A and B are shown apart, each in its own frame.
Chain A
Amino acid sequence: MVEIPVKIERQGTWHGAKLAVEKDQITVPAPFSMQIPYRQVIDLTERKNILTLTLKGPPEITLSLATVPKALQVLKKVIIMSCSAYRLAAYFMSPAVRGGVLVKEARWDKGSIAVLKTVLWFVSEDKQICIPLRDVTGIELTTRDVQNKKVDVVKIDHMEGTDVVTSFILCPLSTLQVLFNFLKDTTKDMDMRGDELDPLSAQVGMLVYSGMDSHAIETMLSVSTNELEGVYDKLLKLGLIEVRYVRREVQMTPKGVRFITEAVKPPAG
Chain B
Amino acid sequence: MGKILIVDDTLFMRTLLKNILFSGGHTIAGEAADGDDAIEKYKELKPDLVTMDVVMPKLNGIEALKGIKALDPNARVIMCTAVGQEQMVKLAIKSGARGYIVKPFQAPKVLDEVKNILES
Contact = CB atoms under 8 A, between A and B. Distances in A.
B100 A210 contact: no
Given A145-B87, A211-B108, A100 B16 contact: no
A209 B12 contact: no
Interface in B79-95: 86-87, 89-90
A51 interface: no
Nearest to B79: A102
Interface in B10-62: 12, 15-16, 19-20, 23
A209 B106 contact: yes
A220 B110 contact: no
Contact of B109 (A101, A104, A220): A101
Contacts of A145: 87, 90
A99 B106 contact: yes
Contacts, number: 64
A97 interface: yes
Interface string A216-243: 1000100000000000000000000000
A101 B86 CA distance: 12
Contacts of A144: 86
A197 to B, nearest CB: 14
Interface residues of B, number: 24
Interface residues of A, number: 22
Contacts of A212: 16, 19, 107
Interface of A is mostly: mixed
A118 interface: no
A98 interface: yes
B72 interface: no
Nearest to B20: A210
A206 interface: yes
Contact of A101 (B19, B87, B113): B113
B12 to A, nearest CB: 7
Interface of A: 97-102, 104, 144-145, 162-164, 166, 203, 206-207, 209-212, 216, 220
Q: Which 9 A-B pairs have the closest CB atoms?
A: A100-B105, A99-B109, A99-B106, A211-B107, A102-B100, A101-B109, A101-B113, A209-B104, A100-B102
Interface of B: 12, 15-16, 19-20, 23, 86-87, 89-90, 99-110, 112-113
